[in-house]
A and B are shown apart, each in its own frame.
Chain A
Amino acid sequence: MTPFKLIYTIVMGIIFAVSFDNITKSRFSFIERIILSSGIVLGTVITIFTVDVLFFPYIITTFFLVDKIRNKRTNLKSGLNSVLVLLNFFICDVIANIINTILFDNKSRESIFGYTFYLILTSVFAITFSKIIQYTIQKDISRDKTKSYSYYFVLGNVIFSLLIVSLSFITNKVLNVTDVRIYLIDLLLFLAYISSSIFMSYIFNKYTLNEMELSIREEEVERMEEYSKTIEELYENMRKFKHDYKNILLSLYEFIEEKKYDDLEKYYKENILETESYVNSSDYTIKLKNIKITPIKALIASKLIRATNNKINVFVDVSDEILRIPINYIDAIRILGNLLDNAIEGALETEEKCLNFGVVYKGSSIVFIIENSCRQDIPPIYKLLEKGFSTKGNNRGMGLSSVKQIVNEDENLTLNIEVNNGIFRIELWMRVT
């Protein structure tokens, strides 16, 4: 038992703990970090100096369990993460070794200077490398389910390449190959593979994004068709109404002409007051004309049409022209679509079904307001925000929690929710910067 080996094992344990923290993005507290690192260091020292075969299973199971229990990840993800931590260390160890051998000679590890250099190199590599891995695999985790394929894609590629390199490294060790060039080639191959996989994932991402945009376009066209159909119907109704109105006015004139004021009053109450409700309603689709962003308008129109078809009293108020919004359309569509769906569902549970929708410029923000009638015994707001929560039981839509997630990720968005007297109100503020 040399002091070198002891220091090496301790440093190795610390590197493991830090890179685990980096890769899994755990955000440990100070105390958790101390406990984890000391546990790993202790375990490493004990296993290395007794039965060193136990070392790998020990590391893997510890990380697996910590990731699973502390970070609440799935079995697959925790497994992959713990393997990644291990492989990350090996790769960095190899690279540091090679550089050390190139810079000094083969015996460098026996001098204190060479050894310290080697240790520092390994830890620097391991930490930066784990950060890079974390960045590469986490970057593509989107809130969207369809996109999480690319997470496994990149993760798989990184693990695969690390595995290959470690294998070749171990074979070389077993075969006692001492030629540095072999390691160099290994390293080059490894880097090439990693960069190609990152490139592939980039292409892949772009492809899925395009596909998503395409499907959204298609939906948009459908919604636009629906919207124009409603407008046509509305126009037709208007025409009929105009015609009727002329007749009504004429009949009024006759009453006046004959000075039958009592009949006039009766006629007015019976026939004309009723038309008021017609004048007051049903032209909400026209009011969307101020929204100049076609995909957004189409979405809102189609949702509001759905609401009216469900006998919900819809009120629309867009008095300012909305020319652009500070977030991308896909996010906007997902947020507004979700909120409007929720509003319709909420309104349907009430007696006097109503839904108010408005867009207003306020200072340097655009405010989307969605109000709907809701049950008196509506669950508390925080429950509505819980993942997978739905008043309808089984996972219908992603609901408010996914809206909240998108809002959380965008600095220009804020969300206010209020329940007051049977009215559920959501305001979405978009800061125009």
Chain B
Amino acid sequence: MLPIIICEDNDIQREKIKNFIELAIAKWNFDFEISLCTGKVEELLSFLDEQRELKAIYFLDVDLKNEINGIMLAEHIRKKDSSGYIIFITTHSEMSHLTFKYKVEAMDYIIKDNYSEIKSRIEQCLNYINKTYYTSALKGQVLTFKQDDRVFNIALNDILFIESSPNPHKIIIHEETRLVEVYGSLKDLEDKLTKDFFRCHRAYFVNKRKIKEIDKRNRIIYMTNGEKCLASFRCIGGLLDDAF
């Protein structure tokens, strides 16, 4: 059961949003519940203070007429709830959605254009949360990196291979549609990886499930997307033994 918290100072709009959420919950049979619906920031803050630990969905209005603005409020929430879902609702279409996204890891940014648009966006958001929150347990192991208060979650099954950067303090994680570079070393990773990963080279960990072909003579591993991964003379034997 995930709690939903709404903070919007316009009474009419708040009721509308609440209504949309309730409809969506009923329609899709989500396991969510509205636990706070308020127009006052103080109320939300005191609600946060009462909780020891929290993971919730937040719908926040950015231009709350208050000393504390949207970003500050979201940063406050992040202190208590580092992995909750924050969704901003605002009239400011020119406002900074990139800032919100990166600063407080906001999940979405809904612009109050017209109510039907808001409704469908709210439904989309809840659907997405439902999917990620309740299926993450089935998805298999996740590799978590923390870097400058940003958390990268990478599903091990998506990784093709992990490579150490020419610069000794960085590693590069190759996925089919993503390339993520983080600080760290391959050595620290060793314990976090599953059996699917094989150290095929001094500078590479390869996901054995993603291998398409091994060129033994040139010691190159071809991944499912065609990308090349190197293998060393010493390790390629072990990899071939493992495969057959």
Contact = CB atoms under 8 A, between A and B. Distances in A.
Contacts of A218: none
Interface stretch (B8-16, B48-56, B171-179, B210-218): B171-179
A411 B96 contact: no
Interface residues on A, range: 35 or more
Nearest to A356: B98
Contacts of B226: 380, 382-383
Interface string B136-169: 0000000000011110000000000000011101
Contact of A408 (B96, B99, B166, B227): B166
A419 interface: yes
B182 interface: yes
A323 interface: no
A363 B151 CA distance: 11
A379 to B, nearest CB: 10
B227 A418 contact: no
B93 interface: yes
A416 interface: yes
B56 to A, nearest CB: 22
Contacts of A283: 94
B102 A369 contact: yes
B128 to A, nearest CB: 12
A363 B181 contact: no
Given A380-B225, A380-B227, A417-B179, A319 B93 contact: no
A416 B179 contact: yes
A52 interface: no
Interface in B57-116: 93-94, 96-99, 102-103
Contacts of B149: 362-363
Given A360-B102, A380-B226, A410-B167, A317 B96 contact: yes
With a 10 A CB-CB cut-off, give which of A317, A380, A414 has the most chain B CB atoms.
A414
A64 interface: no
A76 interface: no
B180 interface: yes
Contacts of A369: 98, 102
B201 to A, nearest CB: 10
A429 B170 CA distance: 12
Interface string B172-208: 0010111111110000000000000000000000000
A407 B98 CA distance: 23
A362 B103 contact: yes
Interface string B7-48: 000000000000000000000000000000000000000000
B244 to A, nearest CB: 24
A280 B93 contact: yes
A270 interface: no
B99 A358 contact: yes
A408 B233 contact: no
Leading 6 A-B pairs by shortest Cβ distance? A363-B148, A358-B98, A317-B96, A414-B181, A317-B98, A363-B149
Interface of B: 93-94, 96-99, 102-103, 147-150, 165-167, 169-170, 174, 176-183, 225-228, 232-233
21 contacts: A31-B233, A280-B93, A318-B96, A362-B149, A363-B147, A363-B149, A364-B148, A380-B176, A380-B227, A381-B179, A382-B174, A382-B226, A382-B228, A408-B165, A408-B167, A410-B167, A411-B170, A414-B147, A414-B181, A414-B182, A417-B178
